Structure 1
Amino acid sequence: MDQKRLFLAIAISIAILIGFQYLMPRPPHPVPAQDVATTAAPATPGNAPASQPPAGAAVSGAIPAQAAATAVPREVPRLKIAGTRVQGSISLLGARLDDLVLRDYRETIEPNSPLVRLLEPRADPQPYFVQFGWTAAGDAKVAVPTDDTLWSASGELAASKPLTLSWDNGQGQVFELVFSLDDNYMFTVQQRVRNTGAEAVTLYPWSRIRRDYTPVTAGYYILHEGMIGVLDGRLKETKYSDAKSEGAKNNGIALTAAATGGWAGITDKYWLTALVPDQASKQTASFRYIDLPGGSYQVDFLGQEPLVVAPGAAAASSTRLFAGAKEVHLLDRYESQDGIPSFDKAVDFGWFYFLTKPIFYALDWLNHHLHNFGLAILVFTVFVKGLFFPLANKSYRSMSKMKLLGPKMTALREQYKEDPAKLQSAMMALYKGEKVNPASGCLPMLIQIPVFFSLYKVIFVTIEMRQAPFFGWIHDLSSVDPTNVFNLFGLIPFDPAAFSPMLHLGAWPLIMGITMFLQQKLNPPPPDPVQAKVFQFMPVIFTFMLAHFPAGLVIYWSWNNLLTIGQQWLIMRQTSLSKPSLARG
Structure 2
Amino acid sequence: MDKKTILAFALSFVVLVGWSFFFSPEPKQPPSEKSPTAENVHPLTPKDGRNPTNIAADPSPGAAPPTEQPVIQREEKKIEIDTPFYRAVFSNVGPTIKSFQLKKYRQTTDPDSPFVELVTLEQGMGDYLTIQFDDSAAGNVRNTVFTVDKDSLNLNEESEPGTIIFRGTSQNGLAITQTYRFFPDRYGIDLAVTAANPTTNSVNGVFRTTLRAIPPKDKGSYYAYVGFALFSDNKLEEVEVEDPGEEEATRGTIGWVSYEDNYFISAVVPEIPAKGSFTGKRLTSGVLEGIFLPAPISLQPSTQATNQYQLYLGPRDLGILKKFGKNLDRAIDFGWTDIIAKPLLYILHFFYQYIHNYGVSIILLTILVKALFWPLTHKSYKSMKEMQKLQPRMAKLREKYKGDKQKLNQEMMGLYKTYKVNPMGGCLPMVVQIPVFFALFRVLGACIELRHAPFVFWINDLSAPGRLFHFSFEIPFMTPPYGIPVLTLLMGGSMFFQQKMTPAPGDPTQAKIMMFLPVIFTFMFINFPSGLVLYWLVNNLLSIGQQYRIYKQPA
TM (norm. structure 1) is 0.76
Partner of 1:301: 292
Partner of 1:115: 115
Partner of 1:83: 83
Partner of 1:387: 372
CA deviations over 1:262-309 (Å, ceiling 9, x no partner): 1112222222122111225x3423214375x51444323334263746
CA separation of 1:351 and 1:126: change in aligned 2, threshold 3 A: farther
Partner of 1:446: 431
Aligned CA-pair RMSD: 3.7
Partner of 1:289: 281
Mapped partners of 1:560, 1:541: distance in 2: 18
CA deviations over 1:225-277 (Å, ceiling 9, x no partner): 122101122322122326832x3xxxxxx204142x41112222222122111
Contact kept in structure 2, 1:227 and 1:265, CA below 8 Å? yes
Contact kept in structure 2, 1:456 and 1:553, CA below 8 Å? yes
1:542 aligns to 2:521 (yes or no): yes
1:506 to 481, 485, 489: 485
How far is the alpha carbon of 1:397 from its aligned partner? 1.0
Does the residue aligned with 1:299 lie in a helix, a strand or coil?
A: strand
Mapped partners of 1:170, 1:438: distance in 2: 78
Mapped partners of 1:19, 1:91: distance in 2: 48
Partner of 1:189: 191
Partner of 1:316: 306
Partner of 2:207: 206
Percent identity between the two aligned chains: 32
Mapped partners of 1:411, 1:12: distance in 2: 28
Partner of 1:232: 233
Does the residue aligned with 2:552 lie in a helix, a strand or coil?
A: helix
Q: How does 1:63-462 map to 2 (within 5 A)?
A: 76-119=76-119, 124=123, 127-136=126-135, 147-157=143-153, 160-167=161-168, 174-182=175-183, 183-194=185-196, 197=198, 199=200, 201-202=202-203, 204-211=205-212, 215-216=216-217, 218-219=219-220, 223-241=224-242, 244-245=245-246, 247=247, 254-259=248-253, 261-279=254-272, 282-289=274-281, 291=283, 293-304=284-295, 306=297, 308=299, 311=302, 315-335=305-325, 340-341=326-327, 343-413=328-398, 423-462=408-447
Contact kept in structure 1, 2:206 and 2:297, CA below 8 Å? yes
CA deviations over 1:356-392 (Å, ceiling 9, x no partner): 1111111111112211111111111111111112222
The amino acid that maps onto 1:90 is F
Mapped partners of 1:10, 1:155: distance in 2: 61
Between the two proteins, the alignment pairs up a number of residues equal to: 502
The amino acid that maps onto 2:12 is I
Mapped partners of 2:154, 2:499: distance in 1: 60
The amino acid that maps onto 2:143 is D
CA deviations over 1:488-528 (Å, ceiling 9, x no partner): x65x6533248999x98721222112211222222221234
CA separation of 1:347 and 1:500: change in aligned 2, threshold 3 A: closer
Mapped partners of 1:542, 1:290: distance in 2: 36
How far is the alpha carbon of 1:146 from its aligned partner? 5.2
The amino acid that maps onto 1:506 is P
Does the residue aligned with 1:241 lie in a helix, a strand or coil?
A: coil
How far is the alpha carbon of 1:477 from its aligned partner? 1.4
How far is the alpha carbon of 1:424 from its aligned partner? 4.2
How far is the alpha carbon of 1:135 from its aligned partner? 3.2
Worse-matched range after superposition: 457-466 or 533-542: 533-542
Mapped partners of 1:295, 1:529: distance in 2: 50
CA deviations over 1:548-583 (Å, ceiling 9, x no partner): 222211111111111111111212222xx2x3xxxx
The amino acid that maps onto 1:331 is L
Mapped partners of 2:400, 2:264: distance in 1: 67
Mapped partners of 2:479, 2:169: distance in 1: 62
Mapped partners of 1:416, 1:120: distance in 2: 68
Mapped partners of 1:207, 1:163: distance in 2: 20
Contact kept in structure 2, 1:207 and 1:275, CA below 8 Å? no
Does the residue aligned with 1:384 lie in a helix, a strand or coil?
A: helix
Partner of 1:44: none
Mapped partners of 1:135, 1:156: distance in 2: 27
Partner of 1:568: 547
Mapped partners of 2:313, 2:376: distance in 1: 46
Partner of 2:65: none
Contact kept in structure 1, 2:167 and 2:176, CA below 8 Å? yes
The amino acid that maps onto 1:257 is R
Partner of 1:486: none
How far is the alpha carbon of 1:56 from its aligned partner? 2.0
Mapped partners of 2:527, 2:120: distance in 1: 32
Mapped partners of 2:438, 2:269: distance in 1: 32
Q: Where does the alignment leave 5 or more consecutive residues of structure 1 unmatched?
A: 1-6, 26-52, 62-74, 248-253, 484-488, 580-585
How far is the alpha carbon of 1:21 from its aligned partner? 6.7
Partner of 2:63: none
Worse-matched range after superposition: 456-465 or 12-21: 12-21
The amino acid that maps onto 1:542 is F
Contact kept in structure 2, 1:265 and 1:272, CA below 8 Å? yes
Worse-matched range after superposition: 370-379 or 443-452: 443-452
Mapped partners of 2:199, 2:496: distance in 1: 85
Mapped partners of 1:509, 1:496: distance in 2: 15
CA separation of 1:498 and 1:415: change in aligned 2, threshold 3 A: closer
1:16 aligns to 2:18 (yes or no): no
Identify, as 1 or 2, the structure richer in helix.
Answer: 1
CA deviations over 1:156-197 (Å, ceiling 9, x no partner): 3456111111235799854211101232221211113455x4
Mapped partners of 1:172, 1:395: distance in 2: 76
CA separation of 1:482 and 1:370: change in aligned 2, threshold 3 A: same
Contact kept in structure 2, 1:190 and 1:316, CA below 8 Å? yes
CA deviations over 1:327-352 (Å, ceiling 9, x no partner): 111111122xxxx13x2232242221
Partner of 2:46: none
Contact kept in structure 2, 1:158 and 1:180, CA below 8 Å? no
TM (norm. structure 2) is 0.79
Mapped partners of 1:211, 1:192: distance in 2: 23
The amino acid that maps onto 1:156 is S
Mapped partners of 2:5, 2:367: distance in 1: 26
Contact kept in structure 1, 2:488 and 2:533, CA below 8 Å? yes
Mapped partners of 2:391, 2:171: distance in 1: 95
Q: Where does the alignment leave 5 or more consecutive residues of structure 2 unmatched?
A: 22-29, 39-74, 156-160
How far is the alpha carbon of 1:441 from its aligned partner? 2.7
Mapped partners of 2:324, 2:168: distance in 1: 32
CA separation of 1:408 and 1:289: change in aligned 2, threshold 3 A: closer
CA separation of 1:328 and 1:500: change in aligned 2, threshold 3 A: closer
Mapped partners of 1:468, 1:449: distance in 2: 27
How far is the alpha carbon of 1:353 from its aligned partner? 0.8
